[in-house]
Chain A
Amino acid sequence: MSQSVSAAKTEPAGRAGQFDMDVLVGTILQDGVLLSLALILAGLCWRYVRTGGLALDYQIAGMNLFQFVVDEIRLALHGSVRPRLLINLGIAVLMLTPFIRVAASVGYFLGVLKNWKYTVFTAVVLSVLTYSLFLR
């Protein structure tokens, strides 16, 4: 195996890049979770103002993430904006947070670190996650 040659060649750039990647990944995770919690809280407050209660009782009959959000946005475009829109968006952002983290990693391994091995590994993870999000 020729691993030592390629490793030695990319070492200096690799280490600095790895450092920045930590910051990128950490920031995506933190901002994603915070945004999602903010959306859910906002939806909840809105609901409380409108109905005077906190109870949310709606079920989602088996659907994937995209239908889950698109249906609600379509309703909003037709003029029926409901607190549920923000709550669904909050749940969607939460689910997309690790997904975007993986997508950004693929880009970083490919574009900045030029590490083909890990570009493939992260791309496999991204493909499986994409498949799972489209499950019905």
Chain B
Amino acid sequence: MVSFELLFPVSVLAGFIGAMGGMGGGIILIPALTFFGIDIKHAIAISILSVIATSSGSASAYVRDHITNLKVGMFLEMFTIVGAMVGARITLASSPRPLYIIFGLVLLGSWVVLLMDKYLSLGQVAEQDAFTRWLELEGSYPDLATGKTVAYKARRAYLGAPLMFGAGIVAGLLGIGAGALKVLIHDLVMGLPAKVSTTTSNLIIGVTALAGTSVYLAAGYINPGLAVPIILGVVAGAFLGTRVLVRLTNQSVRIFFLVILLVLAVEMIARGLRGI
């Protein structure tokens, strides 16, 4: 049994680095926990429980600032929660080695996305389609920098919905928020403004994590002895991370985060291939 005195600081650090990179704690937490000898399925289960706390905590502020689009969130949630339950079931049935490899590949994918950031595009469509209009997926948000209200219309919900089901599978499977993937779908497929897409993805992550957590709890994978120091640690770390550091605007922070992601990705894939 790993001690409280070790788990807590490790989780603070994971939450801190995750928040610094604009991601959740899970992506750092799970590799760290498995490094200290915790079984990967238990690490995944606890991580997804802690994701409820970090995402709900940050979502609350954005929702009240009227930046989050509740309709977009609630429509897409229908797909992510089912995906999360399917993903969690796959993890429970799987052996550990493929989980390490998939985790590593998803880390590698996030790394590529982060690196390519500005160059990605998927041919924006100008007109809102009938289905998305029927779903009332539009809105406006106050831009604090300019003091103006920015209006927008979402697009291609028929494509966003099945893709979000996929994002839900990844979240449930690996015990992470999969926020980067959700933001990508919101941005590139549905054409939401950057601010709206990150904050709405935060809202969706909370319920998605709950659906996954329920499956792990029912299977006996939530150990409160592990959960308590980890939840407290990740929340404290994420709180500090978002407050103390400006996100990826600072070039050295960005490079530091990219290096960590790459090291963890390679590490996880290697452990999966070696047989841990």
Residues on A lying within 8 angstroms of B by beta carbon are 1, 3, 7, 18-19, 21-23, 25-27, 29-30, 32-33, 36-37, 40-41, 43-44, 54-65, 68, 84, 87-88, 91, 94-95, 97-99, 101-102, 105, 115, 117-118, 121-122, 124-125, 128-129, 132-133, 135-136
Contact = CB atoms under 8 A, between A and B. Distances in A.
Given A3-B134, A84-B224, A88-B224, A95 B210 contact: yes
Interface stretch (B78-86, B240-248, B262-270): B78-86
A59 B214 CA distance: 16
A62 B219 contact: yes
Given A29-B57, A95-B210, A65 B64 contact: no
Contacts of A128: 78, 81-82, 85, 211
A47 B110 CA distance: 40
Nearest to B68: A22
Interface residues of B, number: 54
A62 B219 CA distance: 5
A90 to B, nearest CB: 8
A135 B218 contact: yes
Contacts of A33: 53, 56-57, 60, 235
B14 interface: no
Given A26-B60, A57-B1, A37 B235 contact: yes
A118 B214 CA distance: 24
Given A55-B3, A102-B207, A133 B232 contact: no
Contacts of B57: 29-30, 33
A58 B102 CA distance: 30
Contacts of A102: 74, 77, 207
B207 A125 contact: yes
Contact of A19 (B3, B66, B74, B82): B66
A101 B5 contact: no
B52 A60 contact: no
Contact of A95 (B5, B78, B82, B214): B214
| Chain B CB within 10 Å, residue with most, of A19, A33, A58 | A33
A98 to B, nearest CB: 4
19 contacts: A3-B134, A7-B136, A18-B70, A25-B70, A26-B60, A26-B62, A29-B56, A30-B56, A30-B60, A41-B232, A60-B220, A64-B214, A84-B224, A94-B53, A98-B56, A125-B74, A128-B78, A132-B214, A132-B215
B217 A125 contact: no
Given A60-B217, A63-B217, A91-B227, A22 B81 contact: no
